[in-house]
Amino acid sequence: MKNEKSIEKLLKPHSIAIVGASDKTGKVGNMLVKNIANSSYLGEVFFVNNRSHEIEGREVYSSVSEIPKDSVDLVVIATPAFTVLDIVESASEKCSQFIIISAGFGESTEEGQIREKKLNELAEEKNLTILGPNCLGILSPEWGLNASFAPSLPPKGDTAFISQSGALAVALIDKAKVLNVGFSHVISIGNKMHISETNLIKYFANDKSTKTIILYLESIVGGIDFLGAVRDARLAGKRVIILKSGKSDEAQEAIALHTGSLTSGDVVTEAVFKKMGIIRAHTINDIFVLASLSHILPIGKKISNIAVITNAGGPGVITTDEISICRNLHQAMLSEENMKELSEKLPNAASVHNPIDLLGDAKLGRYMDAIKICIKDENIDAIMVLLTPQDGTPSGEVAKFIVEEQKNTDKLIITSFIGGESVKNSQKILREGNVFHVGTPTWVVDVLNELVANDSFEIPELNEVNQEDGINKKTEKILNISSNDNNRGLYFHEVKEIAREYNIPISKSWDVTGGLGVDTHVVYPCVVKVDNPNILHKSDREGVILPIKTPHELIKAITLLKNRFTESNTKIIAQPLAKIQIELIVGMKQDPVFGSIVIVGIGGIYTEIINKTEVFVTPISEEEIEKRMITGKLSFLFVGERGQRPYNISDVVDIVMALQNVSMKNKTIKEIDINPLLIYNNGTNPNAVDMKIVF
Amino acid sequence: MKNEKSIEKLLKPHSIAIVGASDKTGKVGNMLVKNIANSSYLGEVFFVNNRSHEIEGREVYSSVSEIPKDSVDLVVIATPAFTVLDIVESASEKCSQFIIISAGFGESTEEGQIREKKLNELAEEKNLTILGPNCLGILSPEWGLNASFAPSLPPKGDTAFISQSGALAVALIDKAKVLNVGFSHVISIGNKMHISETNLIKYFANDKSTKTIILYLESIVGGIDFLGAVRDARLAGKRVIILKSGKSDEAQEAIALHTGSLTSGDVVTEAVFKKMGIIRAHTINDIFVLASLSHILPIGKKISNIAVITNAGGPGVITTDEISICRNLHQAMLSEENMKELSEKLPNAASVHNPIDLLGDAKLGRYMDAIKICIKDENIDAIMVLLTPQDGTPSGEVAKFIVEEQKNTDKLIITSFIGGESVKNSQKILREGNVFHVGTPTWVVDVLNELVANDSFEIPELNEVNQEDGINKKTEKILNISSNDNNRGLYFHEVKEIAREYNIPISKSWDVTGGLGVDTHVVYPCVVKVDNPNILHKSDREGVILPIKTPHELIKAITLLKNRFTESNTKIIAQPLAKIQIELIVGMKQDPVFGSIVIVGIGGIYTEIINKTEVFVTPISEEEIEKRMITGKLSFLFVGERGQRPYNISDVVDIVMALQNVSMKNKTIKEIDINPLLIYNNGTNPNAVDMKIVF
């Protein structure tokens, strides 16, 4: 099922049965019992256990079916793995929502994997909604419910945390108070057998109590559904923040073409995040700071010009340094009038330009003046107040003043009191007064920059891409023939046919395997190449000879290649020698999760090393490609940098769209490289000199 | 003076005079009095002030000359700026070491700048050693001395901190206790008029009590002396850690050539750090973690294989993820025997591979077993123990156990207990027990990787470079002629002459300004270019036409360029059209601080965009260039990647050495670009197609 209603029932049940409830301290079943008792949950709770009769003074049922009610909203199971299947099956008569805490499923032995498979089948058959197995449970502060074995319910708030690691959820909950963060729900998804991040993101997109959705994921599943769920959440004005581990994933399949290596490891994840405006947390600390900042900063609030106020020169310089290299943040300039007022109030040696340096002997008064003036200055969107524990500066008083000011202004005040013991108390005053204070200043600047960039990100359409139906039969036929010959790739004349089907401007070529026939009108200068469906990297194997200027040279080159490549199925082709201005690579590969991925980058043999590549997760529209071409890593080609005439964007857009089209109509194709694709800024048409297709 | 002896006297004086000593709370002169009184300083202290007679029950002298002693080791001055010069002059009869706390010098008005200039002259004239002005003073825990207005003396230890920001010094001192860091000396260098970071690094290179030298700098001065001081410190087995602000320095001089833009902003600083094995801190937080880690980790200790022990799956995965992308760290593999022992002790579901996952319900016993086995396993160099506050895990007991184990083993144990309130107390136990605990795990991994890389870095020679003496007269003559004509650059025929002087393989060219004379033996195909000493970017101005295949085309091209460039001093040249394999740029520019900088990178018009550039700070040896070519950003060319034959390193080394040579013999040259330098992997000689010289 996994629809909104069933997830709502799971997160906000009116009645719960705990299967495996126990009175033995240290057992998970006991923690569940205590945690539910200690939370302010108002619904009914039933304990189920086939060995006890009473726990905490309450009756214990030997099975869910014995509970004297027609239906229960949620069954939480914490019994050994081998018992779970039967329990679910029998309980499914009374309940459709389950949380399975028990481990011993897909994450463990082969036996566990079989168990998980059966459980999943049961869920489908009986139309159940199952969270887990192998999870911590859920904590729903807004529902007063702790149905987990995490020690305590965090404060209520507008952040949902979905975690593939129960332990990280525990750590974040524990840190919540210091971070001033509250939660709508904390959900441990465990093996995410049935309910995945996609289902939950979709749910929280419509959940009024949730403004920020934070996830820790070790894998992403769901492909386009995941994109769609994120899109819904983003369009509903919510931030999606993800910490994704597995950056260094070495369990990659063998890579055949450049496109494969340009999209290996973490690159597709990065592209997904970029496409959808997902904020990427890189460390646990990022999660902490992002949670705290997202809580305090309404989405869409204009944060661009930052004023820095400091009693410490060095940290002030370091902070403005960092601001000035952030694309979305700027050093605020005070209005002339306010600058004048400030300079009258501060000592001569102080600086009224950003950073506003109150000097090492700054007393409360200087902080008051500077903060008040910055609050009223319309050129300033946010104020960063730095403080180091100098002898003269009363940090506690400054903290109290800031707390009062923040209460009366919409302007974001970010504080960073840098030091140890001497500033501990003032940091506490700030936090308890709901003023943002986390870590050292540069760090906050980076995170703020990320948030601001993503808030204003335009969410792409996912449906309205011109998706042509049906397979391309001619292409399929070519692939079948080659496949029957046990080839991995295609001959160039086959590639040419496919390219023409999709309007890809493929280079001319002449088959010169048999030498120069009467019908072979080779144009000079030309290049001669080996052509064999199983030789994917011709240059690496010295299978390319150029330039060829005369028929005599051509004959020599053909003989040379024939001697070098003696496989019987080898052909030799000639192509016109093209003038090179810019070599691009445009490629496609099938990703197991996100379907076809299309790339555009600087081509040539060192394409991986230069690595100026844009990666697109389909579906993509022409607008999305164009936008990225103008703003991304290849923008220098299309905006006319260094006095160069700009290259024609639509040449590239058309070919990216064509590859997307191929990937939809001929799904057996695993990978395509067009490399080099020659493009020109003088009106010459683009030229796909080589194109490889792997299926 | 600024020699070791005088700096030693300044940092460890036997007698001090405080000029401007005061009994008025809040005045710097009062803070100094109190701070010296509160520290355990054993030397003599004299108060000087021309308005009081007694402070803190002690006699006050109206001037340093009245002090009843022939000489004083150190005079600290905290009087208004305008009085300082006279005070120093008169006191110089009794003392050669000064700390000038007072502001109002070079950092302020023009008047202040004049004052600082005079003070500097006085220092030279009287052979004085002056710290400041505009500084916080010094704190020398090992000498029991707080001659600063920072509130308290930090613990004694082996770290020296040199700061261009007094406030940052205060913050670090305040944080010292949490970081478990102690200091030999903390020195605020203020305007560093006379004593700079270079003098102090040199001093600490020989200071037995100092093992780590940490600096916060807003500028680096001293050029080769700075390099030499760092070299001494590194060779003496000390770490040098620098936080340098001003990354985004926009106050750059106008940039003429590619080399200028490839070495703008922060690039030279980065190259200096890379050359000398300086550890770069990027944030204030980095300083904190590096200080703490450097304190606990002896330099040169082998730290390569890391075992991660955790009760939290997610954080374990994130940490091993990070380790696996660090070049110098690896995930440890336990010995078979130990793995077997561990798997017998841990529950079945636990993982005995890295990360060693003790599961969410881990009690003390599992941590004990895992830590003990890791300590005895010889495949493990360091152990990271992670913990999140799960219900079953007694974090305090685990902390106490680790403290005891760390006492009895040389193996580094790094801890990260992640959470808020629940782990606060155990974090304290760890810190107080001298176990490393700072921040979240990924962060520590990055910093550790940096430390390890730099510890094993081979410090380059600075003197034994083959420096030829004297200027190259022919070159100088050419430059003079062009300079007399008010040119900014040179004609290509002049460039060719200079190139030949230095054995740079410059391309052939023919002057075709006057058309095709009888003596002009142009070879086809060729390229035709505009040649004007003041046109530095020909391509950007459409001053290059190619390919030219016939005399007829050549004549047409000459006419075209003549019409396009009508300046009377414009020449037209032809060059053979070279075959392109790899285009490099090799360049030189004069840096105001570090002298000549030489670069090698991927060339062509998009050289800044591709930005694969190695930057060398001279003096450089052939060995240094070769090493960087093989290990750096251009290594793909020289190690034969992607089945390509490797290019010849010595082609590049020779040209880099030649440019260094030019920069030493013709110092009026400000910038050189050889772009493109064509290199080949088929035995063809390198070819400097174009070379620009700006003076």
A339-345: average pLDDT = 95
Name the average pLDDT for chain B: 91
- Structure tokens belonging to residue A598: 């299309």
Residue B549 CA to residue B527 CA, distance in Å, equals 9
Contact A388 B174 (CB under 8 A): yes
Shortest CB distance from A349 goes to which of B108, B216, B389?
A: B108
Helices A110-126 and A81-91: crossing angle, nearest 10°? 10
3-state secondary structure of A144: coil
Kindly tell me the burial class for residue B187, based on how many C-beta atoms sit within 10 Å of its own C-beta (0-12, 13-18, 19 or more). Answer: buried
pLDDT at position B251? 41
Task: Flag whether residue A645 sits within 8 Å of chain B, measured between CB atoms.
Answer: no
Query: Which amino acid, one-letter code, is at B505?
Result: P
Shortest CB distance from A422 goes to which of B174, B246, B283?
A: B174
Residue of B nearest to A246 (CA): B321
Chain A residues with CB-CB distance to B163 below 8 A: 314
Measured in Å, how far apart are chain A's first and last C-alpha atoms?
36
Q: How far is A390 from chain B (nearest CA, A)?
A: 7
Contact B166 A360 (CB under 8 A): yes
Q: For residue B157, is pLDDT > 90?
A: yes
Block residue for tokens 């970010």:
A414
Shortest CB distance from B442 goes to which of A174, A175, A283?
A: A283
Instruction: Convert A229-254 into a string of H (helix), E (strand) and C (coil).
Output: HHHHHHHCCCEEEEEECCCCCCCCCC
pLDDT at position A464? 55
B317-345: average pLDDT = 92
Give residue-wise pLDDT tens across range A623-656: 999 999 999 999 999 987 666 789 999 999 999 9
What is the H or E stretch that residue A492 is in? helix A492-501
Contact B284 A418 (CB under 8 A): yes
pLDDT at position A639? 87
Q: How confident is the model at residue A519 (pLDDT cuts 50, 70, 90)?
A: low
CA angle (B546, B550, B555) in 5-degree steps: 75
pLDDT at position B576? 94
Q: How far is B519 from chain A (nearest CA, A)?
A: 29
Give residue-wise pLDDT tens across range A242-258: 999 876 554 444 556 77
Q: How confident is the model at residue B27 (pLDDT cuts 50, 70, 90)?
A: confident
Measured in Å, how far apart are chain B's first and last C-alpha atoms?
36
pLDDT at position B402? 97
Residue B63 CA to residue B61 CA, distance in Å, equals 5
The answer to whether the beta carbons of residues A218 and B317 sit under 8 Å apart is yes
Task: Flag whether residue A642 sits within 8 Å of chain B, measured between CB atoms.
Answer: yes
A12-33: average pLDDT = 92
Shortest CB distance from B245 goes to which of A28, A317, A418?
A: A317
The answer to whether the beta carbons of residues B659 and B586 sit under 8 Å apart is yes
The answer to whether the beta carbons of residues B64 and B91 sit under 8 Å apart is yes
Q: How far is A333 from chain B (nearest CA, A)?
A: 17
Size of interface A-B (CB pairs under 8 A): 230
pLDDT at position A534? 87
Task: Flag whether residue A612 sits within 8 Å of chain B, measured between CB atoms.
Answer: yes
Q: How far is B421 from chain A (nearest CA, A)?
A: 7
Q: Which of residues 93-122 of B touch A (CB under 8 A)?
A: 103-104, 108
Q: How far is A100 from chain B (nearest CA, A)?
A: 16
Note the pTM of the prediction, 2 decimals.
0.91
Task: Flag whether residue A603 sits within 8 Å of chain B, measured between CB atoms.
Answer: no
Give residue-wise pLDDT tens across range B488-518: 889 999 999 999 999 999 999 999 998 877 6
Cα atoms found within 13 Å of the Cα of residue A681, Cβ hemisphere only: 14
Query: Which amino acid, one-letter code, is at A94?
Result: K
**Beta carbons within 8 Å of B679's beta carbon, 6+ residues apart:** B581, B582, B584, B637, B647, B648, B651, B652, B686
E strands, A454-537, are: 510-511, 526-531
Tell me which residue of B644, B642, B638, B592 sits closest to B614, measured CA to CA. Answer: B638
Give residue-wise pLDDT tens across range B274-314: 999 999 998 888 898 899 999 999 988 999 999 999 999 89
pLDDT at position B547? 85
The region that residue A4 occupies, defined by phi over 0 for left and psi between -120 and 50 for alpha, beta otherwise, is: alpha
Chain A residues with CB-CB distance to B360 below 8 A: 136, 149, 166-167, 170
A50-71: average pLDDT = 90
Give residue-wise pLDDT tens across range B37-77: 888 899 999 999 988 888 888 899 999 999 999 999 999 99
- Structure tokens belonging to residue B70: 């022939």
Q: How far is A282 from chain B (nearest CA, A)?
A: 9
Residue B375 CA to residue B381 CA, distance in Å, equals 9
The answer to whether the beta carbons of residues B407 and B413 sit under 8 Å apart is no
φ and ψ of B485, to 5 deg: -85, 10
Chain A residues with CB-CB distance to B115 below 8 A: none
Residue of A nearest to B165 (CA): A314
The answer to whether the beta carbons of residues B316 and B355 sit under 8 Å apart is yes
Q: How far is A665 from chain B (nearest CA, A)?
A: 32
Contact B420 A175 (CB under 8 A): yes
Chain A residues with CB-CB distance to B391 below 8 A: 31, 149-151
Task: Flag whether residue B252 sits within 8 Å of chain A, measured between CB atoms.
Answer: no
Q: For residue A261, is pLDDT > 90?
A: no
Contact A312 B165 (CB under 8 A): yes
pLDDT at position B653? 96
Chain B residues with CB-CB distance to A360 below 8 A: 136, 149, 166-167, 170
Task: Flag whether residue B314 sits within 8 Å of chain A, measured between CB atoms.
Answer: yes
Q: How confident is the model at residue B248 (pLDDT cuts 50, 70, 90)?
A: low
Chain B residues with CB-CB distance to A602 below 8 A: 610
Distances (CA, A) of B415 to A473, B310, B330, B370, B385: 61, 10, 17, 14, 5
The answer to whether the Cα torsion of B319, B323, B329, B332 is positive or negative is positive
Chain B residues with CB-CB distance to A243 below 8 A: 318
Q: How confident is the model at residue B250 (pLDDT cuts 50, 70, 90)?
A: very low
What Rg do the C-alpha atoms of chain A give, in angstroms? 32
Q: For residue B467, is pLDDT > 70?
A: no
Contact A166 B248 (CB under 8 A): no
Chain B residues with CB-CB distance to A541 below 8 A: 643
pLDDT at position A252? 45
CA angle (B111, B116, B118) in 5-degree steps: 95
In B165-283, which ranges are continuous DSSP H helix?
166-179, 197-205, 223-235, 258-262, 267-276
Residue of B nearest to A547 (CA): B579
Task: Flag whether residue A261 sits within 8 Å of chain B, measured between CB atoms.
Answer: no
Q: How confident is the model at residue B252 (pLDDT cuts 50, 70, 90)?
A: very low
Shortest CB distance from B391 goes to which of A31, A288, A440?
A: A31
Residue of A nearest to B151 (CA): A391
Residue B600 CA to residue B616 CA, distance in Å, equals 8
Mutation target among B161, B197, B284 for the A interface, most CBs of A within 10 A: B284
Q: How confident is the model at residue B82 (pLDDT cuts 50, 70, 90)?
A: very high
pLDDT at position A496? 96
pLDDT at position A518? 66
A566-579: average pLDDT = 91
pLDDT at position A465? 52
Chain A residues with CB-CB distance to B314 below 8 A: 163-168, 216, 218, 245
Q: How far is A345 from chain B (nearest CA, A)?
A: 18
pLDDT at position A686? 96
Chain B residues with CB-CB distance to A643 below 8 A: 537, 539-541
The answer to whether the beta carbons of residues A313 and A348 sit under 8 Å apart is no
pLDDT at position B51? 85
Give residue-wise pLDDT tens across range B379-426: 999 999 999 998 778 999 999 999 999 999 999 999 999 998 899 999
pLDDT at position A251? 42
Chain B residues with CB-CB distance to A441 below 8 A: 284
Give residue-wise pLDDT tens across range A452-487: 988 888 888 887 555 566 888 999 999 988 888 888
Task: Flag whether residue B189 sits within 8 Å of chain A, measured between CB atoms.
Answer: no
Contact A420 B643 (CB under 8 A): no
Residue B189 CA to residue A314 CA, distance in Å, equals 12
Residue B225 CA to residue B7 CA, distance in Å, equals 17
Contact A178 B314 (CB under 8 A): no
Give residue-wise pLDDT tens across range B602-636: 988 778 888 899 999 999 999 999 999 999 999 99
Kindly tell me the burial class for residue B91, based on how many C-beta atoms sit within 10 Å of its own C-beta (0-12, 13-18, 19 or more). Answer: buried
User: A535-538 long-range CB contacts below 8 Å, 24 or more apart?
Assistant: A535/A565, A535/A570, A536/A256, A536/A257, A536/A488, A536/A489, A536/A692, A536/A694, A537/B642, A537/B643, A538/A690
**Beta carbons within 8 Å of A524's beta carbon, 6+ residues apart:** A548, A549, A550, A554
Q: Which of residues 423-462 of A touch B (CB under 8 A)?
A: 423, 439-443
Residue B467 CA to residue B474 CA, distance in Å, equals 18
3-state secondary structure of B293: helix
**Beta carbons within 8 Å of B528's beta carbon, 6+ residues apart:** B512, B544, B545, B546, B548, B554, B557, B558, B561, B572, B573, B574
B312-324: average pLDDT = 90
In B310-420, which ranges are continuous DSSP H helix?
313-324, 336-345, 364-376, 395-407
Residue B270 CA to residue B275 CA, distance in Å, equals 9
Shortest CB distance from B247 goes to which of A216, A325, A609?
A: A325
Shortest CB distance from A312 goes to which of B168, B247, B540?
A: B168
